[in-house]
Structure 1
Amino acid sequence: MEKENAMGLPLTFDAADGYPLQGRLWRHADAAAQPRPLVIVNPATSVRGDYYARFADYLHGQGFDVLCYDYRGIGGSRPASLRGFSASWLDWGRLDFEGALRWAAANAPRQPILVVAHSVGGFLVGLAPSNHLVQRVFSMGAQFAHWRDYAPRRRLRMLLKWHLAMPVLSGLFGYFPAKRLGWMEDTPHGVVRDWTHPGPRFEDAYRRGPQAMSAEERSRLAEGFAGLRGATLALSVTDDEFGTGPAIQRLLAYYRNSRCLHLRLPPQALGLEGIGHFAFFHSRFQDSLWPIALRWLRDGELDDSLAAYLVDSARQQPAPA
């Protein structure tokens, strides 16, 4: 691949059920000969894979191969009409991310598989049956949107926006017309349902409804998170209204076989005014935030200067709901 192609090369691959997914691949010409790591980028809910292109190009310049892709119903993986289109968080994890893992295993068999996960992308890692292939994870603001974990000062506004307006509009249109509102990508109705229903244990959302599961099936769903054995660095920032301390810890508790580190940074610690839930992947943070991810992905290490911001998990468990 030519280094100057900052957007990578277009790629189509199949999800685990055969659904065609669109993505972009940054790959070195000698990738087949050298066991350089391959990074799969799992986007946030209803965010196009192209949003992460600058970060992917940065990692490519540091010696990694990178795959960014769109979940079904989003961006290049969207059908002609979203009305009535079936897609859910379960599909994104068990089928789409699973498809990305299978593509990597088949097309880069000698390359270690790493994951960069944003927001719900960190949750989807646990849903994929092949998550045991992942050797290391870096996540940013990863959680599954249990409303009690939202930042208290913003909770009411977030409930009105995401748990009232979004499902109402989704019911009216058959999908959430987010683009018309300037919020994000249009979103399949099933994804909206998953976003607005998680309790303190995500699997309990599937007690009833169109994706209802038996108690045994729900238990197996949660147990799948234990398949991840690669180490995880979960980064959160104190001005992220979604990725609060309890929200991050709630998700990490499912990854019981992964060595999980939770790094919680106030933006001011790096001389920054703000970061929030989305800005980490903006290129203006190439010299301040991106090296944190780079060192973890490359070496599985954290700079000593950041050790003071590691969360003591025993004191940061989410409050019972």
Structure 2
Amino acid sequence: MNGKPLTVRCDDGYELRGHIWEPCSLHGQWPCRVVVVVGATGVLASYYHRYAAFLAENGFTAITFDYRGIGQSKEANIKNLQASWYDWGLLDIDAVLHWAIDNISEDLHVVGHSFGGFGVGLAKHGQHVKRLLTVGAQHAHWRDYRPGHRLHFWWRWHILMPGITLWHGYFPGKRLGWLEDLPKGVALNWAKSPRNFPAGAGPLRKVIEEHQASFAAATLAVSATDDPFASENAIVRGLKYYPNSPAIVVQLKPRDLNSPEIGHFALFHSRFRDTFWTGTLQWLRDGINPWA
């Protein structure tokens, strides 16, 4: 099921490409509830289209989008793109949230995957989000990787990735088969992600901390027990940046969803339509934790 193409202009003039799904029963009339799906680093928005279509089938207007430098929002020469995680949060995510409020509804909800679940709190308009569902949300501080994966990930993402990025002027993740290509700034933000995330943001630090303090959405933070990135420490660390957001933490075991494994990416695969996807509706509609 394909959504309608969407273009959103950021405050700095950069245009993001995305899609919007409208429930068929509304015949062109926007519903009172909108869900913005905010993706992981290096993952195309198209990966979330099946889930967005599912949300539309269940009465929500759903929006997906690619960050600057990724997918349909990628410029011809990514080497020339000055973009960072801070730009993705302060400009890209913020622009889409603002557009959703102005053009659809103030009844705003977000589903954020990996960095997307953390980055939404960097956006100024994050203060208008009513409910947030995060899936494996963290900011890739290497000490938070799950034991057994830490050394391998430290070598891949914090030694090899920055070295390759500095050599090429961007991270050629697609050529390596690791993920999509990344702008230099984004790759280096990941590689150097500090224990205290705003560190290194320079003059943006105060703005980011103000946005984090104003973020007050009720949050359901979900991760899988076999997710190598989103360990318990990673989830807890991420939530501490949003002291005014009441949060519930859920660790799902694969057997909870009748699956042999989950990992970091699988929950947006359609095989979880009748388990995880259906459960998310209870949170987004009514604020009920289906895995209490």
TM-score tier (shorter) = over 0.9
Residue number in structure 1 paired with 2:22: 27
Q: Which amino acid aligns with 1:18?
A: G
- State the TM-score, normalized to the length of structure 2: 0.96
Give 1:172 shift.
1.0
Q: CA deviation at 1:195?
A: 0.5
The farther-off stretch of 84-93 and 267-276 is 267-276
**From 45, 51, 55, the counterpart of 2:51:** 55
- Superposed CA offset, 1:123-144 (max 9, x none): 1111111111111111100000
The answer to whether the 8 A contact 1:177-1:187 is kept is yes
Alignment partners' CA distance in 1, 2:206 and 2:174: 36
TM-score, scaled to structure 1: 0.87
For 1:55 and 1:220, the matched residues in 2 are separated by: 32
- Following the alignment from structure 1 to structure 2, what is the Cα–Cα distance between the partners of residues 34 and 282? 27
State the match for 1:96 in structure 2: 92
Taking the aligned partners of 1:286 and 1:294, their CA distance within structure 2 comes to 11
Answer with 196-205 or 85-94: which moved more. Answer: 196-205
**Secondary structure of residue in 2 paired with 1:115:** strand
The amino acid of 1:260's aligned partner reads: A
Contact 1:125 1:225 in 2 (8 A): no
C-alpha contact (below 8 Å) 1:141/1:236 kept by paired residues? yes
Whether the 8 Å CA contact 2:127–2:211 is kept in 1: the answer is no
Contact 1:36 1:63 in 2 (8 A): no
Inter-partner Cα distance in structure 1 for 2:224 and 2:95? 30
Aligned mate of 2:114, from 105, 116, 119: 119
In structure 2, distance between residues paired with 1:246 and 1:32: 44
Distance 1:164 1:271 in 2: 36
Does 2:138 align with 1:143? yes
The corresponding residue for 1:312 is: none
Q: Which amino acid aligns with 1:235?
A: V
In structure 2, distance between residues paired with 1:230 and 1:73: 28
Equivalent pair of 2:23/2:58 in contact (CA under 8 Å): no
Tell me which amino acid in the other structure corresponds to 1:126: G
Alignment of 1:242-257 (within 5 A): 242-257=229-244
SS of the residue 1:288 aligns to: helix
Match of 2:168 in 1: 173
Runs of 5+ unmatched residues, structure 2: none
CA deviations over 1:85-129 (Å, ceiling 9, x no partner): 111100000000111011112211x45111010000011111111
* Residues 278-307 of structure 1: CA deviation (Å, up to 9, x unaligned): 00000001111112211100111013xx32
Check the 8 A contact 2:123/2:211 in 1, yes or no: yes
* Aligned residue number for residue 274 of structure 1: 261
- Aligned with 1:302: secondary structure? coil
Structure showing greater radius of gyration is 1
CA distance in structure 2 between the partners assigned to 1:33 and 1:85 by the alignment: 37
DSSP 3-state at the match of 1:116: strand
Identity, % of aligned positions: 45
Instruction: Please say if residues 8 and 16 of structure 2, whose CA atoms lie closer than 8 Å, have aligned partners that are also in contact.
Output: yes
Secondary structure at the counterpart of residue 286 of structure 1: helix
Q: Deviation string for 1:244-272 (max 9, x for gaps)?
A: 00000101111111111111111123332
- SS of the aligned residue for 2:158 comes to helix
> Number of aligned pairs?
291
* Counterpart position of 1:291: 278
1:1-321 maps to which residues of 2 (within 5 A)? Answer: 6-28=1-23, 30=26, 33=29, 35-108=31-104, 110-206=105-201, 212-213=202-203, 218-303=205-290, 306-307=291-292
Counterpart of 1:223, as a letter, is: E
**TM-align CA RMSD:** 1.5
Q: Deviation per CA, 1:16-61, whole angstroms, max 9, x where unpaired?
A: 2221000011023638756431110100001111110010011110
Q: 1:229 to 1:31 in 2, by over 3 A?
A: farther
Instruction: Please give the alpha-carbon distance, in whole angstroms, between the structure 2 residues aligned to 1:231 and 1:69.
Output: 23
State the shift of 1:273 in Å: 0.7
Separation (CA, whole Å) in 2 of partners of 1:134 and 1:33: 21
Range 61-70 or range 249-258, more displaced: 249-258
